[in-house]
Amino acid sequence: MRQEFNALYNMMASSDKVENMHVFGQVQKEMFEWFVANKPQEAEEFLNKLESIRWKNYLTPKEAERIVGDMVPSAPWSREQWKSAMEKHGYDLEREPCYNKCALWAVMNMKMSDSGKTLEKYVGSDKLFDAVYELAVDSLTDKDGNFNVRKHWNL
């Protein structure tokens, strides 16, 4: 079955027939509905992976949690703390098509983990969050495309 699926997928992917894509898409919708009804956590994981088509820089929630959890020195903000601080400052969590919220959260934590003490010396603690936000956005919206969040963390 796996070989037949792969053969049909390759046939659809290399075809210029839009109707082949529609057939494949319809079957995928049916499969996804089954997952939603029977395995909602797995359905959510698949949906998180599909989100990648919307963004230049994206991470799934699981990827971001792992990355932030592994930071040394440790990251300063849990996802909830970060979201609350973002709302307090009035910053958007995402900017389509540049980055999703998981990518922004991870990169802001990276900036703080790597350079927070240095930044605080120059901008002070009252402007630190703003500086980190802007530096993260600079990286995630880099016009020449040299920064890629997935490549940075070998994903």
Reported as a single tens digit per residue, the pLDDT across 44-61 is: 999 988 988 999 999 999
Residue 110 is assigned to a structural domain of this protein = yes
Distance CA 107, CA 136 (A): 6
Residue 81 is assigned to a structural domain of this protein = yes
Reported as a single tens digit per residue, the pLDDT across 7-47 is: 999 999 999 999 999 999 999 999 999 999 999 999 999 99
Going by C-beta distance under 8 Å and a sequence separation of 6 or more, which residues neighbour residue 115? none
Reading the block at residue 54, the tokens are 């919307």
Residue 11 is assigned to a structural domain of this protein = yes
Reported as a single tens digit per residue, the pLDDT across 88-119 is: 999 999 999 999 999 999 999 999 999 999 99
Q: Which residues span the domain enclosing 9? A: 2-38
Are 29 and 80 found together in one domain?
Answer: no
Taking the whole predicted model, whether its pTM rises above 0.85 is answered as no
Going by C-beta distance under 8 Å and a sequence separation of 6 or more, which residues neighbour residue 142? none
Are 6 and 73 found together in one domain?
Answer: no
| In the block, residue with structure tokens 């350079």 | 115
Residue 145 has pLDDT above 90, yes or no: no
Nearest CA to 77 among 99, 117, 104, 108?
Answer: 108
Contact, 103 vs 68, CB < 8 A? no
Are 70 and 122 found together in one domain?
Answer: yes
